[in-house]
């Protein structure tokens, strides 16, 4: 039986990670408000430790393990941000970590993961299965596997981002959240349902990888080929059973944006808000701006999920 996290789990996660994860700022832009006609609140997880929201879930999941289990080590697989988060959180907890990462992951993410002290095992994301590699490592070495999204403690940790946002902003009419595997979206939707039941939670995927949208429409999990998109943090092939169950209950809609819109939004946020947001982190703001006609005069939250991108690559995309 699938065990779903509850709002109380998010509250417990908030207490567990306090003093470890950053309480990231909520940013405003008069220019973007005027441009869109919407009152926008940007939860800036690009300023989170390791540069992404993933540190929340990784820290919560590791600290939630019994000490004797934790000391046997952590194994994870990730395209980058979860990798860095697990590596950093494991180092702080004093436990070893092995991370399975695609060989074409951004160099800055590979370097940071190794820099936090984790062992990195690379693979070809288009021809190899990262879950099979992680399972083999787990059988050989032991430890605990902490997946990047389909885990109750990971989801509860990610939900703390929305909890903080709504504590600061008060009621929101809508909340746009990026969707890869669904950990952030499902955790935030769980919080919104409890705190502001009328808030419409909108998940956002890259147009090239709309498995969550297809899954919601079909009523069951749809798996796709690894999508080719600049949103490397959302190059997942399917959502998880836990995240999907929560999204079915609490996410109102899934929309998509293409790579051109992501690059344009990266440039817009850099020029007008003076912040660097990675392509995946631009999923929510790109969609919120595109949907502005539907939300005129309303209060809309936007999750900026991360800012980890090589500066040369950033310049190429926004140039």
Considering 205, 210, 232, 278, which one is annotated as catalytic?
Answer: 205
Q: Decide if 215 is catalytic.
A: no
Considering 54, 78, 164, 281, which one is annotated as catalytic?
Answer: 54
Written as six digits, the tokens of 292 are 């502005």
Considering 14, 186, 215, 305, which one is annotated as catalytic?
Answer: 305
In DSSP notation, 71-128 reads: TT-EEEE-SSHHHHHHHHHHHHHT--EEEEEETTS-HHHHHHHHHTT-EEEEE-TTTS
Written as six digits, the tokens of 13 are 């996660």
Considering 57, 159, 203, 209, which one is annotated as catalytic?
Answer: 209
CB contact burial 108-132 (16+ within 10 A = b; e otherwise): bbbebbbebebbbbebebeeeebee
**Cα distance between residue 185 and residue 161, in whole Å:** 10
Orientation of helix 107-115 relative to helix 81-93, angle to 10°: 10
H/E run at residue 51: none
CB contact burial 198-211 (16+ within 10 A = b; e otherwise): ebbbbbbbbbbbbb
Considering 14, 36, 78, 79, which one is annotated as catalytic?
Answer: 79
Q: Decide if 205 is catalytic.
A: yes
Q: Decide if 211 is catalytic.
A: yes
**Cα distance between residue 246 and residue 5, in whole Å:** 9
Pairing assessment for the beta strands 39-44 and 26-27 based on DSSP bridges = antiparallel
Q: Decide if 79 is catalytic.
A: yes
Considering 45, 164, 210, 211, which one is annotated as catalytic?
Answer: 211
Residues 6+ apart with CB under 8 A from 220: none
Q: Decide if 167 is catalytic.
A: no
Q: Decide if 14 is catalytic.
A: no
Which amino acids are annotated catalytic?
54, 79, 205, 209, 211, 305
């Amino acid at each position: 039986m699938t065990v779903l996290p509850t709002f109380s789990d998010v509250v417990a996660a908030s207490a567990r990670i306090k003093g470890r994860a950053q309480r990231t700022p909520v940013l405003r832009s008069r220019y973007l408000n005027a441009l869109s006609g919407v009152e926008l609140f940007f939860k800036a997880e690009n300023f989170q430790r390791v540069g992404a929201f993933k540190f929340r879930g990784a820290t919560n999941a590791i600290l939630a393990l019994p000490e004797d289990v934790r000391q046997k080590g952590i194994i994870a697989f990730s395209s980058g941000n979860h990798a860095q988060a697990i590596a950093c959180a494991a180092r702080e907890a004093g436990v070893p970590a092995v991370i399975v990462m695609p060989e074409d992951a951004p160099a800055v993410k590979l370097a940071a993961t190794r820099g936090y002290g984790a062992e990195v095992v690379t693979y070809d994301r288009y021809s190899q299965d990262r879950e099979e590699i992680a399972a083999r490592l787990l059988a050989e070495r032991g430890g605990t596997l902490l997946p990047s999204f389909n885990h109750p403690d990971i989801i509860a940790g990610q939900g703390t981002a929305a909890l903080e946002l709504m504590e600061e902003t008060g009621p929101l009419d809508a909340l746009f959240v990026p969707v890869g595997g669904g950990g952030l979206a499902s955790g935030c939707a769980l919080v919104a349902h409890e705190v502001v039941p009328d808030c419409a939670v909108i998940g956002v995927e890259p147009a090239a990888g709309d498995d969550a949208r297809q899954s919601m429409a079909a009523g069951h999990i749809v798996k796709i080929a690894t999508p080719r998109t600049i949103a490397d943090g959302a190059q997942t092939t399917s959502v998880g059973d836990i995240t999907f169950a929560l999204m079915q209950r609490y996410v109102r809609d899934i929309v998509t944006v293409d790579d051109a819109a992501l690059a344009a939004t990266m440039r817009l946020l850099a020029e007008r808000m003076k912040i660097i947001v990675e392509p995946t982190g631009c999923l929510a703001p790109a969609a919120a701006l595109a949907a502005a006609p539907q939300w005129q005069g309303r209060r809309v939250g936007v999750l900026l999920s991360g800012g980890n991108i090589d500066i040369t690559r950033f310049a190429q995309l926004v140039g």
